[in-house]
Amino acid sequence: MKSGVSLEISVSFVDVASIGVSILYSVFYHDEIDVEGKLLRAGKSVGVTSVDFVNKKTRKTIAQARHNKYLAVSSRL
């Protein structure tokens, strides 16, 4: 098992989503969101993942996230 530290974590918000918005007559509207994660690279020392948050109805991207992580070799102590 490898452990490590995060080299970079970023999130870009590119659109809006309605979550728990109260409308007339106490009806609640919200957008369903698909979360699509991908492993972009898993090398000997660095792993890179990305996640897209997509509006299920419109298929518009709401946010994009990326995580780069240093994968330290575990010690045998």
**Torsions phi, psi of 32, nearest 5?**
-80, 140
Task: Provide the whole-model pTM.
Answer: 0.72
Q: Average pLDDT of 52-77?
A: 87
Say yes or no to pLDDT of 70 above 90.
yes
How much is the pLDDT for 39? 97
CATH code at 35? 3.10.129.10
Q: Average pLDDT, whole number, for the chain?
A: 83
- The Cα 73–Cα 47 span in angstroms is 13
Q: Average pLDDT of 3-32?
A: 75
More confident residue, 2 or 33: 33
How much is the pLDDT for 26? 52
Segments forming the whole domain that contains residue 62: 3-72
Q: What domain count does the chain have?
A: 1
User: Do the domain assignments include residue 77?
Assistant: no
